[in-house]
Amino acid sequence: MDLLEKSAEAVAARWPDAKPVGGMILGSGWNGAVEACEVMDTMSYAEIPALGEPGVVGHAGRLARARCAAGELLVFQGRRHYYEGLGWTPIAAPVAILKHAGARMLLLTNAAGGIAEGFRPGDLMIVRDHINLMGANPLVGPHHPGWGPRFPDMTRVYGPRLRKALHAAAQAAGMSVLEGVYMAVSGPAYETPSEVHAYGRLGADAVGMSTVPEAMLAHAAGIEVAGLTCITNAAAGLGSGDLDHAEVTTVAQDAMSNIRALVAGFWRQALAKGEG
């Protein structure tokens, strides 16, 4: 918690007048989504004690202070992952920073392998719920009141209000979007075909290596959460080729025009009813 508090203080010192209503954490290949907003300033993750430089290609490692749909946001261009072996602190840092700054909403994004029949590379999926199969939980450890109750309810992590905002944004942009269940595994190895088969039987529509920890932390801390996945490939055993991270980032970048339209529309919808 000491490192998280120092990180929040570092951001507050850089932008003492910032009053973000929400934030975004951008996953693999999603860096360009920040262009849906007006970027006012940026700072490197290297300037934020708990974050440091990302260890994965496709994550810029910048925090942007931005304005989108008349609301101020903090946009994390890249995330840290559990498989990097540095524990939960770098993963929890964006949520702790947003909480400290008074943000009330968080849009989590990721790239994932499609499991559900009919998913194609470039499809966008609104996260309805998740399955945590990472073998770990970011809330384990001494309880701190900043993360809400000791035993937080996880019935509605991805609340209906923000899911409706995503659907409305897609409709306004003339886009077709899907809705489904995201499963998180620890990585960094991709899943085997047998594992993917099992995940589908468990109810997963897409599988990735992120998002769930931040969603659990933000929801426990009282922040509204929305999730948006770019299906970048068929999960193992469902496609014709080998899985490759370069393909993941390329497909997400190719879908960027749709992503930017959906992100901009989402914040217009989310802030339209006086919530911002």
DSSP the chain: -HHHHHHHHHHHHH-TT---SEEEEE-TT-GGGGGGSEEEEEEEGGGSTTT-S-SSTT---EEEEEEETTEEEEEEES---GGGSS-SHHHHHHHHHHHHHT--EEEEEEEEEE-STT--TT-EEEEEEEEEESS--TT-SS--GGG--SS---TTSB-HHHHHHHHHHHHHTT---EEEEEEEE--SSPPPHHHHHHHHHHT-SEEESSSHHHHHHHHHTT-EEEEEEEEEEEPTTSSSS---HHHHHHHHHHTHHHHHHHHHHHHHHHHTTTT-
pTM: 0.92
Least confident of 59-63, 95-99, 117-121: 59-63
- pLDDT of 43 > 80? The answer is yes
Under the banding of pLDDT at 50, 70 and 90, the label for residue 65 is very high
Under the banding of pLDDT at 50, 70 and 90, the label for residue 276 is very low
pLDDT tens digits along 182-225 = 999 999 998 999 999 999 999 999 999 999 999 999 999 999 99
pLDDT tens digits along 195-207 = 999 999 999 999 9
pLDDT tens digits along 149-169 = 999 999 999 999 999 999 999
